[in-house]
A and B are shown apart, each in its own frame.
Chain A
Amino acid sequence: MMVTMKKTSNAEDRHPFWDQADQLRKNKTAMAGLIIILVFVVCAILAPVLSPHNPIEASLYDQLKPPVWYEAGTSKNLLGTDDLGRDILSRILYGARVSLLVAVVSVGIAFFTGSLLGAISGYFKGFIDNIIMRIMDIILAFPHILLAIVMVAYLGPSLKNAMIAIGVIYIPRFARIVRGSVMEECEKDYVAAARAIGAKDMRIIFNAIFPNCLGPLIVQTTLGFASAILDAAALSFLGLGAQPPTPEWGAMIAMGRSLILRAWWVMTIPGLAILFAVLGFNLFGDGLRDALDPRMRD
């Protein structure tokens, strides 16, 4: 056991994963992104522990308290309160949960559906491929986010429907990546070899071909998290996503909009939270792309 481990750690036959990990570790901006993501995830998971107050409990004596650095601010509400006296810091922390949930669920929907459709498309080619790709074209015929808005308008405004809608509009991105790689890999000898030993289609797709397009898929997933958080916030801002009193960042901005002159912090702080979370995923996603997918490098 020891012997074989030593052998694989030789520089020559090191798994390319370690080279990629090294490259990623040296990339300062990617690491900054990773740190932001970790902070975001920790906030989301530990929200009940970290939050000083209940995020949805109104406190009528604490309405519109400014942040602590103002004279009228108190250490009881570090980032101030909204018009119902709810603590903004607590709402931001719980909002991280909502955003993380949206990102994981909607990108998850897109990842699985898109990969499956792409794999089927690229593997079987011909008629099925044509049908699937035309459907993808139709989804792409709607300008970004419009289809999601329209879907939610019909399905009814709720966080669940917003996640479904965002998931659906992201399907083509994943389908295209997988289809392309599957088509490329299908030409190679190892697929012919797998076929020759009698492997079934699904087994070839998932055991032999799929691992080969993981790189671009991981990149797309990371960048997808970033845009899913943005799009979900936009839907909630328009009143089509999370409904009150859910502490969602986009919905908080919508609520703070009418208070823009009296209490700027109610609207501004959730926006900064969105900006940082999205920036984290974008920074890390760019670094991943440089490391994993040299073809797509800027």
Chain B
Amino acid sequence: MSSSGRSNHKLWNQKLMLPYILRRILIMIPTLLGVSIIVFFMLHVTPGDPAELLLGERATDEALLQLREHLGLNEPLYIQYGMFLKRLLKGDLGETIWTRQKVWIEVKQRFPATIELSIAALIISCVFGIFFGIVSATKQYSILDYLSMIGALVGVSMPIFWLGLVLMLIFSLHLGWLPMSGRLSIGIELETITNIYSLDALLTGNWAAFKDAVWHLVLPAFTLSTIPMAIVARMTRSSMLEVLKQDYIKTARAKGLSRFAVTMKHAFRNALIPVVTTIGLQFGVLMGGAILTETIFAWPGVGKWMYDAVMQRDYMVIQGGTLFIAAMFVTINLVVDVLYAVINPRISVR
């Protein structure tokens, strides 16, 4: 493609990009409405009195009456849903049953821990996944290729909660190399800014806390990263194989470029686009996996909070947490799609 052609294309894409983003946001609205309907009606199709479910068995009659009034439980369902939506739009997710705190505040407290864990897991899965994918593709049908592809298959076939426990058994309990649970050791002081501990430690220049926070991250992040790592490795391999077949790779080799330069500069950069999309799609896997991983490693994030809520039947937390996670997930997918359209000049935004 000539350079003028390319800039035309860019211009054309820029002109269409804004409507494309707006359209995607518009499509998001019915999906989120649907999510809220599901979350709302699940509480109401559950046998039993919603007020009692929300307040727990030991609630006083007065409290029940008050909640019925507040939620309008005596009104018809569609009006109740309207009120629920109105509260949602104001950012009111209700109060938790056990701690009597705003659900939104609890989400905000716990979300940074989940973000920290997910990002660490994503970094691990990208680094190793891409590495093994490239090695596999450049040495197709070699022992290395077979081993890493079998490893990838085992990775997606493994129950991650089990892997987490096995890693804990080996690395914390037997070898004593890594901490078993939590985010920081007792006695380590850290001034929190973002509540992402490793970042906070860096920002405040607190090296001891940084090392400790990263140390605590290793096992849970590695556990959470296995499935995305396997998926990224397989995607990188197939995408690289596709590209390595192209004529321009032969040309680059014929020009006398080193194998390494061809692999990295010519092949990998072109193979990257489907890989980036795959990586973007892994957030869903991470969010779901976070519930299991956080539970095992007592990682105080949104996942463990949701699990505790399920165990204690705190339906307000389940409701609010589900809405929050689904909204995050839909938004991240939207961002990934838009970024994909921006990165890839070949995709038409129409």
Contact = CB atoms under 8 A, between A and B. Distances in A.
Contacts of A39: none
Contacts of B286: 143
B236 to A, nearest CB: 11
Given A153-B318, A282-B153, A298 B292 contact: no
A8 B288 CA distance: 50
Contact of A238 (B39, B237, B283, B307): B307
A35 interface: no
Given A134-B34, A230-B159, A298-B238, A143 B326 contact: yes
B156 A282 contact: yes
A253 interface: yes
Nearest to A155: B46
Contact of B165 (A144, A257, A282, A283): A257
Interface centre among A141, A250, A264, A286 (most CB of B within 10 A): A141
Contacts of A149: 291, 306, 310
Interface string B216-243: 0000000000000000001001100000
B14 interface: no
Contacts of B173: 260-261
B305 interface: no
A138 B38 contact: yes
A155 to B, nearest CB: 7
A143 B292 contact: no
B306 A279 contact: no
B291 A146 contact: yes
Nearest to B286: A143
Interface stretch (A108-116, A173-181, A268-276): A268-276
Contacts of A144: 284-285, 287-289
B340 interface: no
B261 to A, nearest CB: 26
A143 B325 CA distance: 8
B306 A271 contact: no
A226 interface: yes
Given A250-B159, A275-B158, A143 B295 contact: no
A253 B159 contact: yes
Interface in A246-275: 250, 253, 257, 260-261, 264, 267-268, 270-271, 274-275
Contacts of B166: 267-268, 271
A238 B292 contact: yes
Given A141-B35, A144-B285, A253-B159, A150 B42 contact: yes
B25 to A, nearest CB: 14
B161 interface: yes
A278 B329 CA distance: 27
A152 B105 CA distance: 26
A179 to B, nearest CB: 18
Interface centre among B159, B237, B283, B292 (most CB of A within 10 A): B159
Contacts of B98: none
Contacts of A145: 288, 291
B13 interface: no
B76 interface: no
A154 B43 contact: yes
Given A137-B31, A154-B43, A237 B292 contact: yes
B335 to A, nearest CB: 14
B66 interface: no
A268 B165 CA distance: 9
B35 A274 contact: no
Given A238-B292, A282-B156, A260 B168 contact: yes
A238 B310 contact: yes
A242 interface: no
21 contacts: A134-B34, A137-B31, A143-B288, A143-B325, A144-B284, A146-B288, A149-B306, A150-B318, A153-B313, A154-B45, A230-B157, A238-B291, A238-B310, A253-B162, A253-B165, A271-B165, A274-B162, A278-B159, A279-B153, A282-B156, A283-B153
- Nearest first, the 10 A-B pairs at minimum CB distance are A271-B162, A138-B34, A143-B287, A144-B288, A278-B157, A279-B157, A143-B284, A145-B288, A298-B238, A143-B288
